[in-house]
Structure 1
């Protein structure tokens, strides 16, 4: 396929603008954008030079006739948007979480596969340069056979961020949907995607958040925290999602004879004391990556001690020339997705299959059924 590919964007916030820039950089044409609020979508479309702006998704599909739709809305809106896109015959690029429940995600993956629709699932921090570097080193045997992985992060989020989709399970909120999806994608990109078993614990440490009007962009929601939280006229919304989780997993890897143990620990509302990190351990060494998505410096332990290993020149040269790790990762995934649609050979990238697996695992973890009652033991 050599003709120009047309993209329609759903969502006018940080992700919507980021997806538009990524597809343009990859050589596609953004022909339309859809949002909830007329004046917001019109302003974004004018500022980005996008021809069609509207609030009706199905009408936009009919008017724009896109080859690709890019879903950059909260997870609760994805189901209807994806179904309409599949019915229109468009390929689908969707941000995480894929949906709000495992059964919905499984059905959407099946519908896309049966229609021959290509899909991309943007749990995309697997594309940071340091993760790509770790993936290469581990594949080359730098740590021997992998044995375990440790993913630790503490975000210290403001407790009074205005109530919105991130507080509601029905809208795709929760830290599993919006943090674990990335770290799980990172680990499976490095080790292999055959997840054998999981157990987990979740906790809502928040309870409630103030209801504030005018928040349209996830990236700027902190600016809307009320000045007076004791105002008797202030309304509050109740959270029904997890703000902390601990997950254990066993992953079958082609790099190891025995399953690899993985631990994912995240506290959304608590402060960190030492660096967030991801560590891959093997039977002859280890790789430490600084940062909650492992995007900082890479240190290798070769059995004698730790040393920092610089990023290889070819990986450094391939980093998209845009600000922000999130944006860089979207650019890489959009590029690979377009190459695949054009019929070029590309490495595996995350698809709706991965998204459906992730959503089913999140359902399992949220049921909190891993506990064994030992209270009666003497």
Structure 2
């Protein structure tokens, strides 16, 4: 039985607590939250009696085996490193860190300490994605030659989730000053993992563009400068040489939260779709290649990331996705940010008179 502590009690922590309470051989024993009112409310909601105002107090108490780290992105690194030093297993929210060097340091430290380390790439929970990877591995579509992956959201257009212009829970995601790395840092981390995991390969090169659109007078609302990227487009190359595109945007009118992956090989093609709740897989192979026919593939349920982490803690065998995988995804994102920074620098450079 793994004894679990929840670190941070924001909205995503509710999902963690709910899923871990349902996971086999798992007991929620404690929570850490700096805000007293939220701390007490969270404890009452999930029946957690051991509540702490800071991580050091919880570590001093010590009666837990593992931690679900649901703190803000920039806090993942210092808190996780402290937990690793204390010998606690860690299930960290995405992104693992705000940069590749920090993520790599976390992966190295966790492996050196021998603790269970995993990251919550929630779309690994898609039965269709897991089945697609299995089919790629079996050679069902031959060698991959081309792919398309997209993550489409529309909360900058639709008010289905509320009005982003007036709500801090959305505004901070548009402001680098408040820790946001835009759509690339928020959901790009998911679609990069989604694409390369589904295709059962690594991304070896990217050429990207990031775009921030004018959304308010002075590009600012209250204390929030609206400078984080709203759309991201990258051309990517897989390890076998296949080329494709990976895109993410918050301006996809008509789409709530849709991930799509299309993979085309020398003997077939597949399409994966999910909204995080339901998923579907289609394949075109065999005689249907000549008739352009697509068949729906049945996809059995798969364990969630929460269940896989609980199992890893109970068996001592690390699960996927681990810290090193998350660091590799962060490497790709860092390349995209670096390319955009270089482009901006060149655009700002004064013109040189021709000789």
Q: Quick check: TM above 0.5?
A: yes
- Superimposed CA distance per residue, residues 116-168 of structure 1 (whole angstroms, 9 cap, x where no aligned partner): 12210111302201112222222233322111210123311134262354234
**Offset, 1:64:** 4.1
Structure-2 separation of matches of 1:202 and 1:163: 23
- Superimposed CA distance per residue, residues 258-312 of structure 1 (whole angstroms, 9 cap, x where no aligned partner): 3222311122134258986321111122112234679533222220223241424
Question: Is 1:9 the counterpart of 2:6 in the alignment?
Answer: yes
Question: Is 1:22 the counterpart of 2:29 in the alignment?
Answer: no
The 5-angstrom pairing of residues 74-89 of structure 1 reads 74-89=72-87
CA 1:72/1:301 → structure 2, altered by over 3 Å: closer, same or farther? same
Q: Is the 8 A contact 1:96 1:177 kept in 2?
A: no
Residue 166 of structure 1 is matched in structure 2 by: 173
Residue 267 of structure 1 is matched in structure 2 by: 249
**Offset, 1:16:** 0.9
Structure-2 separation of matches of 1:39 and 1:273: 35
CA 1:344/1:76 → structure 2, altered by over 3 Å: closer, same or farther? closer
Residue number among 232, 244, 262 corresponding to 2:231 in the alignment: 244
Residue number among 360, 370, 374 corresponding to 2:331 in the alignment: 360
Q: Is the 8 A contact 1:207 1:238 kept in 2?
A: no
Structure-2 separation of matches of 1:207 and 1:80: 34
- Superimposed CA distance per residue, residues 221-270 of structure 1 (whole angstroms, 9 cap, x where no aligned partner): xxxxxxxx9xxxx8341134211100122122xxxxx3222311122134
Residue 178 of structure 1 is matched in structure 2 by: 186
What SS does the corresponding residue of 1:306 show, helix, strand or coil? coil
Question: Is 1:107 the counterpart of 2:110 in the alignment?
Answer: no
CA 1:69/1:291 → structure 2, altered by over 3 Å: closer, same or farther? closer
Identify which range, 167-176 or 118-127, moves more after superposition: 167-176
Which runs of 5 or more structure 2 residues have no equivalent in the other structure?
A: 157-163
CA 1:360/1:188 → structure 2, altered by over 3 Å: closer, same or farther? same
What SS does the corresponding residue of 1:125 show, helix, strand or coil? helix
Structure-2 separation of matches of 1:18 and 1:107: 27
Q: Is the 8 A contact 1:119 1:351 kept in 2?
A: yes
CA 1:161/1:243 → structure 2, altered by over 3 Å: closer, same or farther? farther
TM-score, normalisation: structure 2? 0.82
CA 1:190/1:350 → structure 2, altered by over 3 Å: closer, same or farther? same
What SS does the corresponding residue of 1:280 show, helix, strand or coil? strand
Q: Is the 8 A contact 1:288 1:298 kept in 2?
A: yes
CA 1:201/1:129 → structure 2, altered by over 3 Å: closer, same or farther? same
Structure-1 separation of matches of 2:51 and 2:77: 21
Q: Is the 8 A contact 2:140 2:268 kept in 1?
A: yes
Which runs of 5 or more structure 1 residues have no equivalent in the other structure?
A: 210-228, 253-257, 320-330
The 5-angstrom pairing of residues 214-293 of structure 1 reads 235-252=222-239, 258-272=240-254, 277-291=260-274
Identify which range, 174-183 or 274-283, moves more after superposition: 274-283
**Offset, 1:357:** 1.6
Structure-1 separation of matches of 2:90 and 2:259: 33
**Offset, 1:196:** 1.4
What SS does the corresponding residue of 2:155 show, helix, strand or coil? coil
- Superimposed CA distance per residue, residues 187-213 of structure 1 (whole angstroms, 9 cap, x where no aligned partner): 22223343211221111225669xxxx
**Offset, 1:51:** 1.5
TM-score, normalisation: structure 1? 0.78
Q: Is the 8 A contact 1:7 1:66 kept in 2?
A: yes
The 5-angstrom pairing of residues 315-354 of structure 1 reads 315=300, 318-319=301-302, 332-343=304-315, 349-354=320-325
